Every structure is written in structure tokens, then in C-alpha cells.
Amino acid sequence: MEEDQDHISQLPDSILRNILSRLKTREAVRTSSVSTRWRYLWTTPTSLVFYAENMLEGNDYSLLNLHQLSVRERYIIMMKRSVSFVCSVNHFLSHLREDHRIEKFKVYFTFSRNRYGANDLDHWVRFAIAREAEEVDLCLLEENDSSAPSNDEHYVFPCDFLVHNGAAGEFRSSLKCFRLAHCILAPSRYTFSCFRTITTLDLKKVNLVSDENIQNLLYNCHNIEWLSFSECLNINYLKIEHPFCLQLKYLNVSDCQQLKAIELKGINLETLEYKGCSIEIFFCNAPRLRTVFCHLSDWTASPGKVWPLLRLPINVPQLETLILECNFYFHMDGLMREKRLPPFPNLSRLIILKVAIMQEDLSWIATFLKACPALQRFELHLSSFVYIDEKLKKENWPSSCPHNHLKEVVISGIHGYMSEIAIAVYLLKNATSLERMTMDPRPRVYLGNGKWHVSEACEGWTTMARERVHQHLIQEGCPPDKLLIL
């Protein structure tokens, strides 16, 4: 009968391999018993993804509750776990066809330079590159691993993982996307010439050993477009200059505690995102830089500290989008007046992420908006974790300042507090070309690289709070067709 036919097995091999790549490795191997058609399909996967749940049977080697065991018992379990994982991966790789090309290779398991399996991991990386993998992703510390190695004991990535291709002496690599986490990376200027094909480089909690190694890395990244350093060690001075990284469009530097300065010189960077301690940022001819994310806190914006925000309008006058994350206790408006913020001549989109701690006086935002004469879209995303002090000082609000180009306003994470209503009223009165104002109770968190996370509205957001906001704004003259309250 027609309903008994195996329609899935009639699909092309490429589609079946794609299906198998979405299964756990053990599950993919078991499909070999389905029929003759399926017997060898698992030996030609498009992606290789190895992690504990994927490769280890049952919960025999779970990381949970290990802290209840003695040091010796933990060591025995972790050793058995590593041996089992490494043997399983080696066994799987030994059955793959030699001429088969893979697209993605990922390992998520704890390794260190002295732990069992480090040499095997070297072999796996070389295996992936030899199979022309375009994406390699190594995260070498599991989330619940209580036996995490120290920074100096992390796995050392084999920088010489490629061999010369024939007599031509050229490196052969199809690698485009490279992600590393929890390891040591110390390339020389010559061993990393294979990195010329990479377009995306994502380093998280990587020990780069010295600034010289960073320059060696950047020296060979001729085609890099997307670059991220997150919580990396031994970065003191990050310098990216012409003629290196000419294709670089996006740079993220986040929470690199030892970093003292960033210098961008003569490159085509379009987006810069920085979060961390107060540092010097030198913009030496960055003509295409249009988008900047930066973080303000007590440490980065207090009097006496270097405030990169003050230099942006001067050094990057072409800036069009500014994303400003704010987290502080003190009164921001006084600091604004003290610093005398210069104008942003071409800023058309301003996004402020405000984390309220004890009070939510938003009058300083009006002062900031005065420095944005060309603003067309303004977003204010609020997050608060305690009850907000409703005592507002009316004298803090600046005098009227028309914003003739402001057409769209979005305020999210609202609770219905008077401070939130006050900033909305100010914008209604001063945005002479306003087309739409959206009030959204759902908090939004910026994840970086243009990505957002939207949460549910707070428990305090009720029909009464919604009506309160709506009533105040309508009374202030907001046309109902321009107001959207979610």
C-alpha cells in the first residue's frame, strides 16, 4: 500500500545527510540499521558536533553533584569521562570516508594542555581542516565542570595545524568562521598565514599571551570581516591599522580586563562595540565607522575618568547610530552639564539602555538629546529590578528644545512610573515631526551584533498602569493615531 512506502529514503543523499547532521552522533550511527539505503549515510555527515551528551552513554559521567565527592573520586570520574569521550570521537572519525568534505566542526568538552586527550584534539583539528571545514568551533570548558584548568593550563591551540600543499608551498584552507573559547592562542607571524581565508573570528576567554601574538594574528587576517574579543587575557594595547584587516567591518571588544587602549587607524570599520573598563580609544581615520555601542557606569563616566563618549562627536563626526548602555547610581544630568557634551552632527538613531538601580530620573536624557540635532529615531529600553523612587525634581528638566527631525520614539520596559511618563511628555512637546510613539512594557536586552532579547512584561504592568500612561499622554496632546501602547 502507498502508506507503507518509505518516502524519506527516496530523498537525495544531500538532504538525508543534512537530516542526520541535526541528530545526536549516537542517533545518527543507529540509522545504519534502518535499511541498506541508510547503512553508510552516517559516514558522510556535513557537520561534526561533539559534546558530552552527544558522545557519552547515559548519565554515568554527569558533572552534577561532583562537588559532593572527594578529590580522588572526582579525579577518577573525570579521567574516565575524558577517556570515554576521546575514544568515542576517535572511533566515529575512523569510520568516515577519506574523501568526504565537511562543512562544520564543533567540540564542546573540557580540555587542558596536561589533561588526557590534548593530542587527540590536535589531530581532530587537523582532520577538520584537511576535510576543508568552513566553520570550526572549539569551546574547551563545560559549564558545570568544577575541575576547570587555570588560565596557564588551558589547551594550547596548534598554530601549525596546516601543512604545505605540494611543491607550491602554499597553505590550503577553506576555513571561514573560527570560534575559540577557553584556550591559549599564541601564533607567530608565519605559522598563521593560513588564516587569510577567515572572515569571522570569535575569541572568548582566550589567553593571547602577549600583544605581539595579537599583531601576528591580525597580520595574517587579510579577509577578516567580523572580529570579537570577549573576556580575553593579555590584551593590553589593541591596534588595528592599515594595511591589515582591510575588510574588517565589525569589531567587538568586551570585558578584556587588562586592556588599556584601542587604536583604529586607516581601516574600513563600520561597527564598533566596546564594553569594559575605562580605556583610551584612538580613532585615526576611520571614515566608514557609522555605528558604535559603548557602556557607561560609575567607573567609566564619573568625574576624572576618561569618557570616550566625549570624543565620538569630534573623532567620528559621521556617526549615525549610537547604542549607549547605562548603569550607574549617581545623577547623570549634573555630569552632562559638567562635561559639556559636544553635538553629534549626523546622528540619526540613538538607543539608550538604562538599568535603574535605586531611582529612575531620566531628565539627563533630554540634555543628551540636545546634542543630537539630526536625530530621527530614539529608543529608550528600561530595566529595573526594584521599586523605583518616584520623587522627581522638576528643576532638573531642561528648557524646551525642538527636535525637528525626530519621527519615531520607542520606550520599552515601562512600569507606568512618572519618570517614564515625564520623558515621553517631553518628547511629545519637542518632537515637532513625530509620526509614532510606542510604549512597550516588555524589557529588551541588547545581545550585541544587532541582536536583541525580549522578555515578558513585569508583574506590575496592569490595566491600571496602562490606562495611567495612556491618560497622561493624551492629556498632553498626543494624537491617538500616533500613540501605540502594547
Interatomic CA distance for residues 257 and 350, integer angstroms: 27
Q: What is the pLDDT of residue 429?
A: 86
- For the cut 90, the answer to whether the pLDDT of residue 423 exceeds it is no
Q: What is the pLDDT of residue 407?
A: 94
Q: Which residues face 444 on adjacent strands?
A: 454
Interatomic CA distance for residues 465 and 479, integer angstroms: 20
Q: What percent of the chain has pLDDT over 70?
A: 74
Q: What is the pLDDT of residue 171?
A: 52
- For the cut 60, the answer to whether the pLDDT of residue 341 exceeds it is yes
The answer for residues whose C-beta is within 8 angstroms of residue 231's C-beta and 6 or more apart is: 204, 205, 254, 255, 256, 257
The amino acid sitting at 338 is E
Tell me the three state secondary structure of residue 117. coil
* Chain segment 38-52, per-residue pLDDT in tens: 655 555 567 888 988
Lowest mean pLDDT among 215-229, 326-340, 410-424: 326-340
For residue 128, report the phi and psi dihedrals to the nearest 5 degrees: -65, -45
The grid cell for 187 is 601564533
Q: What is the pLDDT of residue 306?
A: 44
Count the Cβ atoms, other than its own, within 10 Å of residue 313. 19
What average pLDDT does range 155-164 have in this prediction? 71
Question: 165-179, 298-312, 372-386 — which one is most confidently predicted on average?
Answer: 372-386
The grid cell for 261 is 587602549
- For the cut 90, the answer to whether the pLDDT of residue 480 exceeds it is no
Count the Cβ atoms, other than its own, within 10 Å of residue 24. 13
Q: What is the pLDDT of residue 304?
A: 46
Interatomic CA distance for residues 30 and 34, integer angstroms: 8
Higher pLDDT: 357 or 228? It is 228
If pLDDT is split at 50, 70 and 90, which confidence band does 365 have? confident
Interatomic CA distance for residues 20 and 22, integer angstroms: 5
* Chain segment 373-386, per-residue pLDDT in tens: 999 999 999 887 55
- For the cut 80, the answer to whether the pLDDT of residue 319 exceeds it is yes
- Residues listed for the chain: 486
Q: What is the pLDDT of residue 239?
A: 94
What average pLDDT does range 161-166 have in this prediction? 48
What average pLDDT does range 186-191 have in this prediction? 74
Interatomic CA distance for residues 454 and 463, integer angstroms: 20
The pTM for the full model equals 0.86
Q: How many degrees, rounded to 5, is the angle at CA 315 between CA 309 and CA 318?
A: 95
Lowest mean pLDDT among 94-98, 242-246, 376-380: 94-98
Higher pLDDT: 424 or 458? It is 424
- For the cut 90, the answer to whether the pLDDT of residue 222 exceeds it is no
- For the cut 50, the answer to whether the pLDDT of residue 165 exceeds it is no
Q: What is the pLDDT of residue 163?
A: 42
Query: So what CATH class is 317-486?
Result: alpha beta
What average pLDDT does range 275-290 have in this prediction? 89
Which letter does DSSP use for residue 365 in this model? H
- For the cut 80, the answer to whether the pLDDT of residue 345 exceeds it is yes
Q: Which residues face 281 on adjacent strands?
A: 262
Q: How many degrees, rounded to 5, is the angle at CA 441 between CA 481 and CA 395?
A: 85
The grid cell for 412 is 520599552
Interatomic CA distance for residues 311 and 316, integer angstroms: 8
Q: What is the pLDDT of residue 178?
A: 95
Cα distance from N-terminal residue to C-terminal residue, the chain: 53
Contact 263, 237 (CB under 8 A): yes
